[in-house]
Amino acid sequence: MKLCRFGPAGGERPGLIDADGRIRDLSPHVADIGPDAIGPDGLARLAAIDPATLPLVEGEPRFGPCVAGTRHFVAIGLNYADHAAESNLPIPAEPVVFNKWVGCIQGPNDPVTIPRDSTKTDWEVELGVVIGRRASYVEEADALDHVAGYCVVNDVSERHWQTERGMTWDKGKGFPTFGPIGPWLVTADEVGDPQALSMWLEVNGQRLQDGNTRTMIFTVARIVAYCSQFMTLEPGDVITTGTPPGVGLGQKPEPWYLKPGDRVELGIEKLGRQGQDFVAWSRPG
């Protein structure tokens, strides 16, 4: 299944993408695409519904974040060897874990605000893993049983705050609007092997990232199992699993970064695509 949330920010409704790519309204059956809906029992109930019986959503409504109720937005750094090389950093012996604040989560096509005075705002196409069943001290062999599905994530990053302000990566990763997720949550059964998905990203129409999840250093199963050793992953939590090479930081002969007016588009095989216009910061109110 492809599950989505559609409508204005703060007023999203649950939806399902039918075989013809149209949004069907799931409101008669579920309150939201959140922790209760994406557990094994909830997904089984949704899978039993005939999409043709659901109301068809007219027009082209906004897509919201593809899952609600996220408590943890966990991120993995340097998870592609060639990206570690372009960052001039060694291949890690264990997953590099940091946080993106849940407050940065937004719809997949909503504008992204470049932080005030930023000159190093960067892009990263990543595979997002949505947890469907609580995971604590999970073995790697069982880890994928705790995954509800997958989604596209743009791990937007401000490199100055990430690497030049005390080496606490979280500070450069969680600015407001820095977490576009969606357009859909595609259930694990429909995705199949998460280590065989092509992925891409373009800036202003120029292809800059072109990779595949098969080149991850640490697989999805390894990441879920690893994180579950020191935190409890809850239904609705999202793990974004690292990016292939081609980010602004790694451009040659010198890095280049996003500016107001730039357009970023990205996608992952089976999971859809998203796109953001990057806009200048302005004082609220």
Cβ 96 vs Cβ 170: under 8 Å: no
Per-residue pLDDT at 184:
98
Task: Write 7-11 long-range contacts (CB < 8 A, 24+).
Answer: 7/61, 7/62, 7/64, 8/62, 9/62, 9/64, 9/106, 9/107, 9/110
Per-residue pLDDT at 285:
72
| For residues 240-255, average pLDDT | 94
Q: Is the peptide bond before 28 cis (omega within 30 degrees of 0)?
A: no
Q: Rounded CA gap, 59 and 62, in Å? A: 10
248, pLDDT greater than 80: yes
Dump pLDDT digits (tens) for 5-43: 999 999 999 999 999 999 999 999 999 999 999 999 999
Cβ 66 vs Cβ 34: under 8 Å: no
Distances (CA, A) of 232 to 98, 137, 220, 225: 15, 8, 16, 10
89, pLDDT greater than 80: no
Cβ 27 vs Cβ 14: under 8 Å: yes
Domains assigned to the chain: 2-53 (no CATH), 73-280 (3.90.850.10)
The pTM (predicted TM-score) of the whole model is 0.96
Per-residue pLDDT at 168:
83
Closest by CA to 268, choosing from 206, 193, 198, is: 198
